[in-house]
Amino acid sequence: MNDGGDALMHVVVAGHGPTGHRLVEALRERDSEGSLRITVVGEETRTAYDRVALTSYLTEDADLGYPAHDAGVEVLTGDPVAEIDRAARTVRTASGRALAYDALVLATGSSPFVPPVEGRDLPGVFAYRTIDDLDAIRDACTAAGAGAGGVVVGGGLLGLEAARALQGLGMDTHVVEVAPWLMPRQLDEGGGAMLRRHIEGLGMAVHAGTPMKGLAGRDGRVARVDLADGSAIEAAVVVFSAGIRPRDELARACGLPVGERGGVVVDETCRTEDEAIYAIGECALVGGQVYGLVAPCFSMAEVAADALLARAAGRASVARFEGADLSTKLKLMGVDVASFGDPFADARDGALGVTYTDPVAGVYKRLIVSDDARTLLGGVLVGDASAYPTLRARIGGTLPGTPEQALFGDVEAADGDLPDATVICSCNNVCAGTIRTAVRDESLTDVAAVKTCTRAGTTCGSCVPLVKKLLDAELTAAGIEVSKALCEHFDHSRAELFDIVRVRGITTFTRLIEEHGRGRGCDICKPVVASILASLGNGHILEGEQAALQDTNDHFLANIQKNGTYSVVPRIPGGEITPERLIVIGEVARDFGLYTKITGGQRIDLFGARVEQLPEIWRRLVDAGFESGHAYGKSLRTVKSCVGSTWCRYGVQDSVAMAIRLELRYRGLRSPHKLKSAVSGCARECAEAQGKDFGIIATEQGWNLYLAGNGGMRPRHADLFASDLSDEDLVRYIDRFLMFYIRTADRLQRTASWLESLDGGIDYLREVIVEDRLGICAELDAAMERHVAAYSDEWRDTLEDPEKLGRFVSFVNAPGTPDPSIVFESERDQIKPVLVTGPRLEVAAR
């Protein structure tokens, strides 16, 4: 490193958060001439770390640190800049150290906004901003004990992350938001309402549209949060996450202009009124706006880097900050949430809002399009954000199909043909053309290499699926085999991971990722591994580490519904049920006030159960001989049947007996996706077997077996696999079909698309299952026999385990207290949740 007397331009960066770190990295990457000397001055005692992933520090003890700068950068920690002398071009740190600069960059970030309410200085009250804050919050939660009250003030992105952290620390968690709905800056009212249902379904209480009045203490610590409506919440820990304020005090003190509501005023090159001082990130006011998201802050860092290097070279700066895409996608407590473009554009004349709401699945989708329904302006996705990368990339462009097709992801086939100018990674401003060029010119073959080369997908990660599609399209065009890696944490496909787990006898996600992966895992690989472990009979899904890997419904062995209640679905094999058991279901529904419905799969669904009621309900059902119907799992749902030869004058085989045999054989079998089956007693096909994953139709000589059918949004007729089978051959072939599918299918791949992906299709499948082309039939047979022998009802096991039962509460500190936000009204002599009904699809112009 050169000393102050050299000819290098000395850049001092005040602040070492994510934006400051990004600036330094950009400078080092581009300074090929070695024209800069860089000193970074940080306030915290640790170097820069990922603030976006703060919650994982509490819940997973994750290492959030960014990579260290190279030896050409001097980093001073725990000694922030305290004063700027613009005339002398020096800064003085808190310890008194003086540093001369040729260019100074303010990257001081922001501070959390704490409303000026009574009691905000009480012990037990915290902000949610730094690792030190999180350490203090964890200590306070531990001291308060499990079940104590925890309140988060603020229902925005960071506030909900804080709420997730408090709940993970065992607190009875409440969220207080002054706006009428959660995440009001990103979501519309419908999206906010759907998000609230999801969050309340996880056992948290939401107080929206309710300002906080003040805090009250007891024994020298915070004890209560008083709300403006007169209600109060008992709280041992209170966390403020109600917004941010720019850290612009250094600029104010040295006379630099700041905004009326804060922020260092800069031009489009991120330079202040002083030609030697720049400001970037959350402390900067550019174009009259302060940005609090990582993407625009990183864009400012890139612009400032260009300006500094241009200054060092004596040329004009080219880069300009021209606003930012504020689109965002994240997973909040297991719930996909995304907004893109202008989600409120329909408030203006001429724009149309296209909305889809499915309260049963907990999905809300809204697109804002131009009056001719051709141009995408913005949108909101809650519960299912799979289409986000495609939709965000098409903001301001023409939709290739109708808005309805876009809502359901039907435009994804054209992702590989996006224009080169389409921004794929808004965090790092990476376009489709940049990715394509990098793949071709640098011979990149996997997503990790694309990330390293282009930075796409290295920040929030929401664009990674689209990055992979672009990569795959380029590789396919070049005749190169496309990687089947499950995600960035595993280089293997789901099928390969299945074999690794099976052959090596791996029983935990931790061991699998340590030996065959990298990092901490993600929302893609964790549920996949959970399914693999369950498929291989690795014990109860709520046992030990497995419980943390499960999808939302599996956490409570029930399907969450629109108002935060759950459905109870006992298994009724083949649809056959005795009067005594039918009476038990009726009595349970009556005694617990549940809504009852006979489904298309010949079962009885009971809706409206509160989480704390689930064990009581299931105890009654289990005692009567019922078991879990697995309606919540990626597993066998039902084997539907007609009455067959026992009653029907057209029946040629006993379809009910076969349906019961198959359902009892395959119950609890975890798989890449849900499985449905049916058995028809004759060719009249009353059970609709040809629309099922495996369907059986009786013949005079035995059974015809149909495979890989699919109903739903994209129906597929099943293929005839074999004819006139005996009972034993029928069961044997289904055993092998299911086990081969479980071993080789991709994540969330239905049997229909799986069969279509097999080279050779149904003929190849016949060779594997009947002719044993791969020599694995004995293994498949043995695997199914192990499943059948090891099956145990999940709900019966749960009822016998006090530790597992401990999770079934609405309020941790008051286990028997019902959730007061769950309200019903009467319709057709049954309960109905007091919420928006649906699903619906509507177009509205404002």
Residue type, 673: H
The answer to whether the CB of 783 falls within 8 A of the CB of 741 is no
254 is in an annotated binding site: no
Prior bond of 839 cis (ω within 30°): yes
**Run of H or E residues at 568:** strand 566-568
* Nearest-5° Cα angle at 335, 333 to 340: 120
Per DSSP bridges, beta strands 103-106 and 694-699 are: unpaired
Picking from 270, 317, 315, the residue whose alpha carbon sits closest to that of residue 290 is 270
The answer to whether the CB of 282 falls within 8 A of the CB of 1 is no
Strands of the sheet containing 559-560, edge to edge, are 559-560, 566-568, 604-609, 595-598
The answer to whether the CB of 703 falls within 8 A of the CB of 685 is no
CA dihedral 246, 247, 252, 255 (to 10 degrees): -90
Strands of the sheet containing 328-332, edge to edge, are 328-332, 335-341, 376-382, 363-369, 352-358, 840-845
Point out which residues pair with 100 in neighbouring strands.
90
The answer to whether the CB of 290 falls within 8 A of the CB of 259 is yes
Cα dist. 587→582, 764, 816 in Å? Answer: 9, 50, 22
CA dihedral 670, 676, 680, 686 (to 10 degrees): 160
463 is in an annotated binding site: no
642 is in an annotated binding site: yes
Per DSSP bridges, beta strands 604-609 and 595-598 are: antiparallel
682 is in an annotated binding site: yes
Residue type, 14: A
Give the relative orientation of helices 464-477 and 447-454 as an angle to the nearest 10 degrees: 110
d(C-alpha 756, C-alpha 403), whole Å: 27
The answer to whether the CB of 17 falls within 8 A of the CB of 51 is yes
Binding site for siroheme, by residue number, is 686
Binding site, by residue number, is 642, 648, 682, 686
Binding site for [4Fe-4S] cluster, by residue number, is 642, 648, 682, 686
